[in-house]
């Protein structure tokens, strides 16, 4: 998003979130429909795996607001009960089965961390400005380790992340730069915590690698600045927003408004992103990671 200008004014910073930058890389058509089209096309309703992810993040956020004596399995169970989002599941049995699974997973995950040591930040908003770009985002957790701060991002999908995922992640790198700037402390380590498996993978950035990620973000923002300007002039007729058909089209919230996306294949069921559970309330096909 670019602020309006007047004659003689310097070029304003391009304001974006990491999600906005990545949306452009994933599919310019989806970027246009989500961020530029007004009115915005009606997206598909929330899927079950999204409900699971949001509820898990909310429990892990609210856990730190509990008094220390309630940071136990009973406290987690109550948080899951009050945070649960019963949307997108095939039926009530599947929803209840996944509520129990999330309770088990979060409880197991929290057993592996120091529950007495409060993080430096929980869902902390951070921002960083460069000569051309202003990025703002929200970090799941910021841990203190010695004099440094570590960026922690929760993952709740089926796929277990790898160290390369942590190394190449643009949002994590931008969060590290922003957190270090906001807190005025070293912040070069980023970690992905996969709650379903308890897997933790991380990467230790250098000043040079973080600078490369900032330059990458600035390059994407430069493309977005040109694309946004073209949209203001030509609207949906702009040719800067082609669809990028892929297997992910079956999961796209705006698939119903994209002829190219509909040609890829059928839309995935609302609960297809869930892995199978034992018993009758199982998920089905593989979903996005």
Is the CB of residue 57 less than 8 Å from the CB of residue 79?
Answer: no
Tokens 């460069």 -> residue? 130
CA distance 89 to 278: 16
Tokens 């390369």 -> residue? 164
Residues of the chain with pLDDT > 70: what percent?
93
Query: What DSSP line would sit under 107-118, residue for residue?
Result: HHHHHTS-TTS-
* 172-207 tens-digit pLDDT: 999 999 999 999 999 999 999 999 999 999 999 999
Q: What separation in angstroms does the CA of 165 have from each of 62, 139, 173? A: 27, 17, 11
Say yes or no to pLDDT of 282 above 80: no
CA distance 45 to 274: 16
Say yes or no to pLDDT of 116 above 90: no
Indicate the helix (H) or strand (E) that contains 119: none
What tokens appear for 112 in the block? 């592996």
Alpha helices in the chain (DSSP H): 18-26, 28-31, 48-62, 73-83, 92-111, 163-168, 170-183, 207-234, 259-264
CA distance 251 to 267: 7
For residue 247, give the nearest of 273, 224, 271 by alpha carbon. 273
Q: Are strands 189-194 and 199-204 parallel, antiparallel or unpaired?
A: antiparallel
For residue 60, give the nearest of 103, 96, 15 by alpha carbon. 103
Q: What is the mean pLDDT of residues 137-157?
A: 97
Domains and CATH numbers, the chain: 45-116+243-289 (no CATH), 121-215 (3.90.320.10)
Q: What separation in angstroms does the CA of 22 have from each of 19, 26, 30, 156? A: 5, 6, 11, 19
Query: What DSSP line would sit under 198-237, residue for residue?
Result: TEEEEEE--HHHHHHHHHHHHHHHHHHHHHHHHHHHHGGG
- pLDDT for 9 equals 66
CA distance 207 to 100: 43
Peptide bond into 39 cis (omega under 30): yes
Q: What is the mean pLDDT of residues 137-151?
A: 97
Kindly report the backbone phi and psi dihedral angles of residue 159, in degrees, each rounded to the nearest multiple of 5, phi listed first: -80, 130
For residue 103, give the nearest of 140, 73, 136 by alpha carbon. 73
> What is the pTM (predicted TM-score) of this model?
0.91
CA distance 228 to 236: 11
* 4-34 tens-digit pLDDT: 555 556 789 999 999 999 999 999 999 999 9
């Amino acid at each position: 998003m670019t602020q309006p200008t007047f004659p003689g004014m310097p070029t304003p910073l391009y304001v974006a979130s990491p999600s906005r930058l990545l949306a452009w890389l994933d599919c310019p058509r989806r970027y246009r429909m989500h961020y530029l089209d007004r009115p915005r096309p009606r997206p598909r309703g929330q899927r079950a795996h999204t409900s699971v992810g949001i509820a898990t993040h909310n429990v892990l956020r609210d856990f730190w607001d509990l008094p220390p004596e309630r940071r136990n399995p009973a406290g987690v169970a109550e948080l899951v009960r009050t945070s649960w989002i019963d949307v997108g599941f095939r039926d009530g049995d599947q929803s209840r089965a996944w509520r129990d699974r999330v309770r088990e997973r979060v409880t197991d995950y929290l057993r592996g961390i120091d529950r007495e040591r409060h993080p430096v930040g929980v869902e902390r908003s951070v921002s960083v400005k460069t000569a051309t770009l202003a990025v703002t985002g929200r970090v799941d957790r910021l841990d203190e380790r010695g004099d440094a701060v570590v960026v922690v991002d929760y993952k709740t999908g089926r796929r277990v992340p790898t160290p390369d995922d942590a190394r190449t992640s643009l949002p994590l790198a931008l969060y590290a730069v922003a957190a270090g700037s906001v807190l005025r402390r070293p912040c070069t380590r980023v970690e992905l915590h996969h709650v379903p498996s308890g897997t933790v993978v991380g990467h230790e950035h250098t000043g040079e690698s973080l600078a490369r990620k900032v330059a990458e973000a600035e390059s994407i923002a430069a493309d977005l600045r040109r694309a946004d300007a073209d949209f203001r002039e030509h609207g949906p007729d702009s040719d800067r927003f082609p669809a990028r058909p892929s297997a992910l089209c079956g999961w796209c919230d705006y698939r119903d408004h994209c002829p190219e996306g509909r040609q890829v294949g059928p839309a995935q069921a609302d609960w297809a992103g869930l892995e199978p559970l034992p018993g009758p309330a199982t998920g089905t096909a593989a979903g996005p990671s």
